[in-house]
Chains A and B, each alone.
Chain A
């Protein structure tokens, strides 16, 4: 009873149950269970924020890992930014052939948003990644409407956001790098590891996980990895 009611509400809110063949897992493991229908929502816009350079790299890594799962061979995706920082050869470690990605650079934030919106309307693309620092509610609503028509998945990466506005995106993420785990006494750097925080999600539960990107798969670390080091409070005055 409660379950059917819940489903009705979801479909009223524009969340159609995903078709059976589309229910392939993104490999996110436990993270997927917090979303409606227990499926990572594609065909919506995700918002990810980063506040410094290392967080930006980790966020792009997380996006690239998801893109790698979304991209079928010979399909294309767009990566739009003011200034492109992504080094294409590195995308291969996330399961993306760098040739599949079309990079677009534009100076003006207005142009960036226009390109993101136009690209999201193009159903040929699998996903669109847009890096911008500013996104207002109206603009995010436009993006969401574009996606509902074309079924493209959008990732808006907000680098050093000027302010945290309310936006109409389906989920808001915050990714931070975590110290990698290496075998006892072994030198070297381990696999990329991120603290994935789901701050907001439409019709789901928020949460926080530590994920490791290991040989093309997400690994969820059960035991809480060492807590983020707290920065010493600077004494002022």
Chain B
């Protein structure tokens, strides 16, 4: 599901609260100040005083000269944070996922909530109305990313709802400050005359990183939805941990199996509702004598298939020793991932039921012989035969490199084997060679194909590869390491077999 976020900005957070506490202050100008290095410095300004030119970080004495009737209140440590927390808790009525965004904002994940208000516009209206009734000035914007919503709430003159996938267009007229950047970077940008986002948003990432640092690029990508950003909800989502107590200690294999099935069914039910899938989980049996026994499984793809998960546990279950009996079973999910719903393929890019079946098979194999024994190879950009393939890291991994174009043997020895050869002319393939105690006469030969050492990785001689055929028709891939000269005789190796 498309994620939607609302960012709420309180331009006068503390001042609004002060008025709420003491309505008599509604029409007076006041500041809230705290001592900093022996001076009283303004921390928050009332809307009235702000209109008269009082700003945050000014010294109170200066403000007094500008506005003699200004009232000054003492600032309390951490007051914004506590206030935001309280407001965030109140906002749970709008969405279950609310996070505070210090020093003066809230972030609400509105995904799947706005339709209850009849659309995002009405949702926004209701939010602003409720806050202003409480006496808080707010500016709210809804967008597909946290970064864009933040920038729109604070800097957008008119639009406050950004349709999905239009973050970039919405950001174009805004100043760079809408990207949540540090002051030095902002100063640098303004020095370069970049006062609007459209002046730099299309520049290549490498150039931006070089000039403004990694953090700048990350903020930009977060606003555009290219980099992930996470919020810490005030109400944390409960961990995937359930336990199943037994009326009486159980000892039989069947009972353990039933307990596991029950736990998996409950967990998968919840995961399915949240559109998540399990990647790894631990099943623990707590015994009467206080000892614990654990079984751990992992899957290659997020899964909520109880039968498949049961199968993964199947051959591990007999290793549980119930001894005097097991009192409590627990199941903890260690890793979850968004579940990609399976559907029949319309085009190859989507996940099909076939893929799921294959992934389940691979899970079972990985469970039995280890994950490392399953390999899929992709080309790598090296000519050196041992390095021209690399292992795929995931089922969806693909490479942009090309497979080597030259003739390659079907069997490659993991380590080239030294052979004794008889060579007539230095730059020619051998006349005969001895491999595993048998003499082979070379009848036909192709080559050489010279493959140089990649000096930035490894030092050594180059290899001259020959494809040769002996009198029985067996075809080999052999190479000479280096060349013949006055000092040394190069060694010959056999490296592979052709079909």
Point out residues on A near B: beta carbons under 8 Å: 53-54, 56-58, 60-62, 64, 74, 76, 84-94, 98-99, 101-107, 111, 114-115, 118-119, 122-125, 176-180, 182, 187-190, 192-194, 213, 228-229
Contact = CB atoms under 8 A, between A and B. Distances in A.
B1 to A, nearest CB: 28
Contacts of B458: none
Contacts of A102: 362, 374-376
12 contacts: A61-B410, A86-B410, A89-B403, A90-B410, A122-B358, A124-B355, A124-B361, A176-B473, A180-B469, A188-B444, A228-B473, A229-B472
Given A87-B496, A115-B368, A124-B354, A177 B472 contact: yes
A118 B476 CA distance: 35
A100 to B, nearest CB: 9
Given A54-B472, A187-B445, A76 B368 contact: no
Q: Which 9 A-B pairs have the closest CB atoms?
A: A61-B499, A54-B474, A87-B412, A57-B497, A179-B473, A88-B377, A124-B354, A177-B473, A90-B408
Contacts of A56: 411, 497
Contacts of B378: 98-99
A86 B413 CA distance: 9
A224 to B, nearest CB: 14
Nearest to B471: A229
Contact of B403 (A98, A104, A190): A98
With most chain A CB atoms within 10 A of its CB, the pick from B378, B444, B467 is: B444
A92 B405 CA distance: 9
B411 A85 contact: yes
B368 A189 contact: no
Contacts of A54: 472-476, 497
Contact of A189 (B375, B379, B468): B468
Contacts of A99: 376-378, 392, 398
Contacts of A62: 499
A125 B499 contact: no
B446 interface: yes
Interface string B144-184: 00000000000000000000000000000000000000000
A111 B398 CA distance: 29
Main secondary structure of the interface of B (DSSP, over half): mixed
Nearest to A83: B414
Given A85-B412, A98-B403, A189-B468, 16 more contacts: A54-B474, A54-B475, A58-B499, A60-B499, A64-B499, A94-B499, A104-B365, A104-B375, A114-B368, A115-B369, A122-B358, A125-B358, A177-B473, A180-B469, A188-B446, A189-B445
A34 B376 CA distance: 36
A189 B446 contact: yes
Contacts of B388: 89
Interface string B450-479: 000000000000000001110111111000
A179 B379 contact: no
B411 A98 contact: no
A192 B404 contact: no
B307 to A, nearest CB: 14
B408 A106 contact: no
A87 B472 contact: no
B410 A180 contact: no
Nearest to B345: A74
Contacts of A98: 377-379, 389, 403
Interface in B360-400: 361-362, 364-365, 368-369, 373-379, 385, 388-389, 392, 398
A218 B373 CA distance: 33
B443 interface: yes
Contact of A180 (B361, B404, B473, B497): B473
Contacts of B377: 88, 98-99, 101, 103
Given A102-B362, A179-B472, A89 B411 contact: no
B498 interface: yes
B348 interface: yes
Contacts of B96: none
Nearest to A188: B446
B348 A74 contact: yes
B403 A179 contact: no
Nearest to B377: A88
Given A98-B403, A114-B368, A192 B376 contact: no
Contacts of A187: 444-446
Contacts of A58: 474, 499
Interface in B317-373: 348, 354-355, 357-358, 361-362, 364-365, 368-369, 373
Contacts of A61: 410, 498-499
Nearest to A79: B375
A104 B373 contact: yes
A177 B443 CA distance: 14
A112 B410 CA distance: 21
A180 B499 contact: no
A107 B370 CA distance: 11
With most chain A CB atoms within 10 A of its CB, the pick from B369, B410, B474 is: B410
B409 interface: yes
A50 B153 CA distance: 73
Given A54-B474, A177-B474, A189-B469, A90 B358 contact: no
A94 B377 CA distance: 16
A70 B496 CA distance: 26
A84 B444 CA distance: 28
B499 A103 contact: no
With most chain B CB atoms within 10 A of its CB, the pick from A54, A122, A176 is: A54
B361 A118 contact: yes
A104 B374 contact: yes
Nearest to A175: B499
